[in-house]
Amino acid sequence: MSDNSIPETKKAIVIGGSLGGLFTGNMLRTAGWDVDIYERSEHDLDSRGGGIVLQPDVVEVFRRTGVDIQHIDLGVESHFRTTWHKDGSIQHRSPALQTQTSWSLIYTTMKERFGHDHYHQGKNLVEIKEHPDTKQVTAIFGDGTKALGDLMVGADGNGSTVRRLLWPVDEPTYAGYLAWRGLVEEGRIPEDAKELVGNFDFASHHTENGGSHMLGYLVPGEGNNTHPGHRLYNWVWYRTADDATLADIMTDNEGRERGFSIPEGKLRDEWVSKVYAEADEFLPPNFRAMVKATEYPFGQAIRDLTVDTMVKGHVILLGDAAFIPRPHTAASTSKAAFNAIQLAEALKKSPGDLDAALKAWEPKQLWLGQQLYRQGSGTGNHLMFHG
Ligand SMILES: Cc1cc2nc3c(=O)[nH]c(=O)nc-3n(C[C@H](O)[C@H](O)[C@H](O)COP(=O)(O)OP(=O)(O)OC[C@H]3O[C@@H](n4cnc5c(N)ncnc54)[C@H](O)[C@@H]3O)c2cc1C
């Protein structure tokens, strides 16, 4: 305390300016903290398309950070879950109300709330220095600049540098399959695929013996537009691939090895053709047509990550840096939101004692991460390896 009545403002440095970092940055401010976010990328991240099932914790972060949720469209509703047979007939249809949003809608909304002044781009964390005397932490970036904080939050995703530096044995493992993904503008959906979107459906298809699981739904389009005619169809097609096949897929059209994620426009032509050819082999006519209408399919390897601790001194991990649940849980983004909400709550409850706050925060986060890991790997292995 600087005097008896005014508490000193604490300073947090958040590494990673994607959804986990932005949820945390915005939530920490609600607990009275000063926050700076440091993002490795030099540009805005909002070109990362893709659908996200809207979960209550994300809406809760919006609500708590002052987003006017009554007056913005948060996504596109689906009213049914429909599973298709390979021959194009309906296998099963049941009511299931759900809202699909997009990565971009959440990112732009949270970034606007956080503002520009304390969001630093082109800052690649390379080293961490902990100061045992003050318990503060220094982040050292690739350009030689430094930032000092009372708390460092590693929200730097599945390849986290914070985790590599302080949790060196915890690394993601490949689950044996990848997600091919694609986005098709609503106006360009081919006639044969229109039945996938006409009935407010969250649609899927899976093969009996595993190896292929497809799903698709509408998400907001350009500029977060949720109006009919301006949305995007988002499809995700899980396919098994051994290590050698994955390495080949992840070698892009300029010969660069991409590791575990190949972005739009970077997949080699031979693999684009193979995705189209395999669509003929495995999918019903409607999904087949949707895949072939996708000019630039992209892909992400499915990986698992769990950790036993999320707190080391005054450095913490959250979001994908700590646990990567399989996407079948539809919970990665909401887990990051939950981590952030709970962190702010814990800090509010122990305003003068960061150690006590972190000790109170950690167990529930570990529990959630481990539950999602079990649920996601159980579902994914069943779908992909047993059918
Ligand atoms: C390309 C991409 C597309 C995705 N699409 C979807 C989707 O469609 N649906 C869905 O549910 N989820 C998707 N996700 C995952 C989802 O965004 C995350 O599960 C969720 O947002 C929580 O992620 P995160 O912020 O913890 O990590 P990430 O989203 O991985 O973000 C980590 C951030 O940290 C930055 N960073 C990494 N290393 C450093 C460093 N050394 N210094 C500074 N910054 C660093 C990265 O550039 C990145 O911006 C996607 C993730 C990525 C990366």
**Residue 47: predicted pLDDT:** 55
Q: How many CB atoms lie within 10 A of CB 153?
A: 29
Q: How many CB atoms lie within 10 A of CB 346?
A: 20
pLDDT band at 49 (very low <50, low <70, confident <90, very high): low
**Residue 178: predicted pLDDT:** 98
Tabulate helix, strand, coil % of the chain (nearest 5).
Answer: 35, 30, 35
CATH 2.130.10.10 for the 76-100+174-303 domain, yes or no: no
Sign (positive/negative) of CA torsion 366, 367, 372, 377? positive
Distance CA 212, CA 224 (A): 30
Is the minimum distance from the CB of 109 to ligand 1 under 6 angstroms?
Answer: no
Is the minimum distance from the CB of 184 to ligand 1 under 6 angstroms?
Answer: no
The tokens of 182 are what?
């694609």
**Residue 7: predicted pLDDT:** 56
**Residue 198: predicted pLDDT:** 79
pLDDT band at 186 (very low <50, low <70, confident <90, very high): very high
H-helix or E-strand containing 163? Answer: helix 161-166
Look at the chain and count its residues.
387
Helix (H, G, I), strand (E, B) or coil at 299: strand
pLDDT tens digits for range 201-210: 899 999 988 7
- Give the list of residues 6+ apart from residue 355 with CB closer than 8 angstroms, or none: none
**Residue 71: predicted pLDDT:** 84
Distance CA 301, CA 278 (A): 18
Is the minimum distance from the CB of 48 to ligand 1 under 6 angstroms?
Answer: yes
Is the minimum distance from the CB of 156 to ligand 1 under 6 angstroms?
Answer: yes
**Residue 199: predicted pLDDT:** 75
Q: Where are the domains of the chain?
A: 11-42+122-172+305-376, 76-100+174-303
Residue 163 has pLDDT above 90, yes or no: yes
More confident residue, 330 or 210: 330
From the candidate CATH numbers 3.50.50.60, 2.40.30.60, 3.40.50.300, 3.60.15.10, the one assigned to the domain spanning 11-42+122-172+305-376: 3.50.50.60
Is the minimum distance from the CB of 333 to ligand 1 under 6 angstroms?
Answer: yes
Give residue 375 CA to ligand 1 midpoint distance, Å.
Answer: 21
Helix (H, G, I), strand (E, B) or coil at 203: strand
pLDDT tens digits for range 63-117: 999 999 888 889 999 999 999 999 999 999 999 999 999 999 999 999 999 999 9
**Residue 200: predicted pLDDT:** 79
Give residue 157 CA to ligand 1 midpoint distance, Å.
Answer: 5
pLDDT tens digits for range 300-329: 999 999 999 999 999 999 999 999 999 999
The tokens of 55 are what?
């979960």
Highest mean pLDDT among 8-12, 21-25, 167-171: 21-25
Residue nearest to atom 25 of ligand 1 (CA): 20
Average pLDDT, the chain: 94
Q: Where are the alpha helices (DSSP H) in the chain?
A: 19-30, 56-64, 103-114, 161-166, 243-249, 269-282, 285-292, 332-349, 354-385
Residue matched to tokens 């606007």: 112
**Residue 4: predicted pLDDT:** 45
